[in-house]
Each structure stands twice: as structure tokens, then as C-alpha cells.
Amino acid sequence: MKKSLKPRALKSPLLLPALAALALLGLLASRSPRPTSSDMPTAAAAASLSPPAHAHPAGSPAAAPHEEPQPPGALTAALPLAHEHLSPVNHLARARTLRELGDLSGALTECRRALHDAPEHEEALRAIARLGPRSEKPELAVLALEQLGRLNPEEASPLVQQARLLVSLGAYAEALRVAEEAVSRDPEEPEAYQVLGRAHFAAGHLSEAILRFQQAVHLAPEHGHALNNLGLAWLRANENARAAEVLSRAAALLPHVAYVHNNLGVAYERLGRTEEAQEAYAHATRLSPRYVQARVNAGRVSKVASLGATSPGSRGARLPEPTLQGTRP
């Protein structure tokens, strides 16, 4: 008796439907149109964290670009997350539940899915702006804030927040552009000048940083962080008397912020006011016992005082550097 030449697997009633389904999927794939440029992610997302391009005359060599550090994955980040469901799903409700359970990454994913369903959903965008930095995805927060800025062209707040993130990510050229736009939207908003000053300071534009911090303090005289940042800029410019004046005001407004008292100690030490420097450094270390720089500064000044010597700054020695942690995010 001859054996059948058909494979035994084909006799299985369960395998035949599976093979038919695979054949159908192959047919649909072969008939799907090739993606066009309109199907691809727009260049806006990729360009949002890049320094603006500069035009050059025809035929002239382009100048070497000023390279700014780019956050990992920022240029390839896509804000909406594509998905499919057989029935409508409330992704924001899911996101709230996941956030309450401590799953920030999952909550962020659900917010991105909500954006795929409604690209201009402001609640989803604001949630992404909050969750992105906490989920190690700050570039998504930058893109969400950029979209909020476009949806609310009269508001400066989304741009202020976006510029802060860009400064923290090292994208200073883009931070300057966004902060300037925030100032143009609301010239009376001190936070806009504050973040613009921080962007200039981080980029090494000292005179511009001082001007912007002064404008922030003019609009908000009791803005302790702006006063601290202005003091940092004065210290960087070696204008130590001016630094001591504004940092003493900042320390009075922010009595529990250790780095402000450390910065004030630096100013006093540079001026040869050793006892006041000791007191400021001691205050900083009491507030933050693990604050290494303040402890080093306190130890140095105490040693100088015990030896009856003058401060390093008054002898022309290398001046102590202020901590730069004081620039408010």
C-alpha cells in the first residue's frame, strides 16, 4: 500500500485556517501603498531641539556650526504613539491610574496614545510635560511644551518651561530662541527674563545674563532665585561687592536653601570678610550636611582664621568658585 505524498500537517483542521490567514496578510501587504512624505514624521519634531540653521550667500562656504550638546534621543522622538483598538479606550484615565500606582513610564505611554487619538489634547500634552522628565524622557516634555506653545500663542508659560528644560539638557541655542519668544509674548513676566538669563549664563554670555537677571529682579524684587542667579553672575564677573549685596538679599528670602548661603560665603571670602564667610558656610553645612563644596569652603576659611591669615582673595590667590547649582530649573 503506497503512502500518501501529502504532508501530514495539512490534514490538521487547525492549521488550514492559519495558513489561509497568512496568505491573506501577504496579499494585503503587497497591495499596501508605499509610504509617502506625508506619512513620515515631520521635520518639526526633529528640528525642535536643534540650533537654528544660518543662511549663507550662494557659493560662499558655510561657517562651522556651533555644536550644542543634544539630549539622547531628542532628534528621533515622536510624541504621539500609534496604536489600534477594537473599541474606544480612555487613555488618560489609564494614565491617571498608572501614575497613582507609581508606573510613570506606563502613564507616559498612555498619554502618548491619547495624543495619537487627539493630537491637540492639552491635558495629555500637559501630562507629558510633567511625566517626561520624571520618566527619563525629557525630550518628550520639550516637544509637548512646544506644542502647547503653538496651541496657546498668547501664553508665555509653556515656553518658559520649555526653555528651562532645554537649558538643563544643554541645548542652549534653542533655549535662547524659546526664551526670547517667551519675553516677546509677555514682557512683564519675570520668569521669562529669569530663564533667558539662565540660558545666556549657561552659554557663557555673561553681560547678557546679568542684564536679564537684573530685569527679572526689577519686575520681582523678592524673587530669591533670580537674586541668587544675579549674584552668581556678579561673582563670575568678579564683581564681588555687588554679588555680596544681592546674595545677602537672596539668603534672607531663601533661608533654607543651602547653596545660596554657600554662594554668599564665597562673596564674603573674596572680600576678605572672613567671619561673615565662616558664618555663611556654616549655615550652608547645617542645612545640608552632605554639601561637599560648602564643607570644603568652611574648612578652608576656618584654617585661614585659625592661622590669623588673610583670606585667599585678598592675597591675590585663586578665588573660590561659587556653586552653580543655584540656577533655578
Domain ranges of the chain: 74-153, 154-221, 222-329
Tell me the C-alpha distance between 88 and 154, whole Å: 33
Q: For the segment 112-132, what is each residue's pLDDT rounded down to a tens digit?
A: 999 999 999 999 999 999 999
Name the residue with cell 494585503.
28
DSSP string, 186-232: -TT-HHHHHHHHHHHHHHT-HHHHHHHHHHHHHH-TT-HHHHHHHHH
CA-CA distance, 99 to 82, in Å (whole number)? 21
Instruction: Tell me the CA distances in angstroms from 324 to 186, 228, 327, one per residue in order.
Output: 27, 10, 6
190-231 tens-digit pLDDT? 999 999 999 999 999 999 999 999 999 999 999 999 999 999
Cα–Cα distance between 188 and 218 in angstroms, integer? 10
How many Cα atoms within 13 Å fall on the side-chain side of residue 110? 18
What architecture is the 222-329 domain classified under in CATH? Alpha Horseshoe (1.25)
**Minimum mean pLDDT among 3-7, 50-54, 111-115, 282-286: which range?**
50-54
- The CATH number of 74-153 is 1.25.40.10
Per residue in 224-276, pLDDT tens? 999 999 999 999 999 999 999 999 999 999 999 999 999 999 999 999 999 99
Residues 299/267/169/217 CA torsion (nearest 10 deg): 150
Which is more confidently placed, 318 or 251?
251
> Could you give the C-alpha distances from 207 to 6, 232, 316, 322, in angstroms and in order?
85, 12, 24, 18
CA–CA gap between residue 326 and residue 263 (Å, rounded): 8
CATH of domain 154-221: 1.25.40.10
Indicate if 222-329 has the same CATH topology as 154-221: yes
The 10 Å Cβ neighbour count of residue 63 is: 8
> 285, 301 in Cβ contact below 8 A?
no
Q: Is the pLDDT of residue 143 over 60?
A: yes
Rounded Cα distance between 324 and 328, Å, is 10
Question: Average pLDDT of 29-34?
Answer: 41
pLDDT band of 134, cuts 50, 70, 90: very high
Nearest to 28 by CA among 16, 40, 20: 20
- pLDDT of 54 higher than 60: no
Q: Taking the model in full, what pTM does it have?
A: 0.71
Backbone dihedral angles phi then psi of residue 151, each to the nearest 5 degrees: -75, -25
Q: Distance between CA atoms of 54 and 67, rounded to whole angstroms?
A: 13
Q: Which residue has the cell 545677602?
A: 248
Question: What is the percent of the chain with per-residue pLDDT over 70, rounded to a whole number?
Answer: 70
